[in-house]
Amino acid sequence: MAVAELPPSYTTQLNTFRISSLSTHLSNQRGFSVQLFRRAKRAGIYCSVTSTQIQAPVTVQAAESKNNPDCYGVFCLTYDLKAEEETKYWKKMVTIAVSGAAGMIANHLLFKLASGEVFGLDQPIALKLLGSERSFQALEGVAMELEDSLYPLLREVSISIDPYEVFQDAEWALLIGAKPRGPGMERADLLDINGKIFSEQGKALNAVASRNVKVIVVGNPCNTNALICLKNAPNIPARNFHALMRLDENRAKCQLALKAGVFYDNVSNMTIWGNHSTTQVPDFLNVRINGFPVKKVIKDHKWLEKEFTQKVQKRGGALIQKWGRSSGASTAVSIVDAMRSLITPTNEGDWFSSGVYTNGNPYGISEDLVFSMPCRSKGDGDYELVKDVIFDDYVRNRISKTEAELLAEKRCIAHLIGEGVPVCNLPTDTMLPGEM
Kindly name the residue from 25, 108, 242, 276 that is annotated as catalytic.
Answer: 276
Instruction: Please state, in angstroms and rounded to a whole number, the distance separating the CA atoms of residues 214 and 119.
Output: 14
Report in angstroms the alpha-carbon separations of 188 from 62, 192, 243: 53, 6, 19
Instruction: Decide if 54 contacts 155 (C-beta within 8 A).
Output: no
Look up 415 and say whether it is catalytic.
no
Instruction: Decide if 228 contacts 198 (C-beta within 8 A).
Output: yes
Report in angstroms the alpha-carbon separations of 320 from 255, 268, 280, 334, 371: 18, 28, 20, 18, 27
Contacts of 339 (CB under 8 A, 6+ apart): 118, 172, 214, 216
Instruction: Decide if 214 contacts 342 (C-beta within 8 A).
Output: yes
Instruction: Please state, in angstroms and rounded to a whole number, the distance separating the CA atoms of residues 78 and 269.
Output: 43
For residue 410, the tally of other CB atoms under 10 A from its CB is: 23
Any bridge partners for residue 271, and if so which?
A: 283
Instruction: Please state, in angstroms and rounded to a whole number, the distance separating the CA atoms of residues 278 and 138.
Output: 33
Instruction: Please state, in angstroms and rounded to a whole number, the distance separating the CA atoms of residues 375 and 214.
Output: 15
Instruction: Please state, in angstroms and rounded to a whole number, the distance separating the CA atoms of residues 32 and 190.
Output: 43
Instruction: Please state, in angstroms and rounded to a whole number, the distance separating the CA atoms of residues 320 and 435.
Output: 10
* H-only helix segments in 4-117: 16-26, 104-115
Of 99, 104, 156, nearest in space to 130 by CA: 99
Q: What is the DSSP string of 147-191?
A: HHTT-TTEEEEEEES-HHHHTTT-SEEEE---PPPPTT--HHHHH
Helix (H) or strand (E) holding 282: strand 281-283
Report in angstroms the alpha-carbon separations of 29 from 12, 141, 146: 21, 11, 16
Active site residues: 276
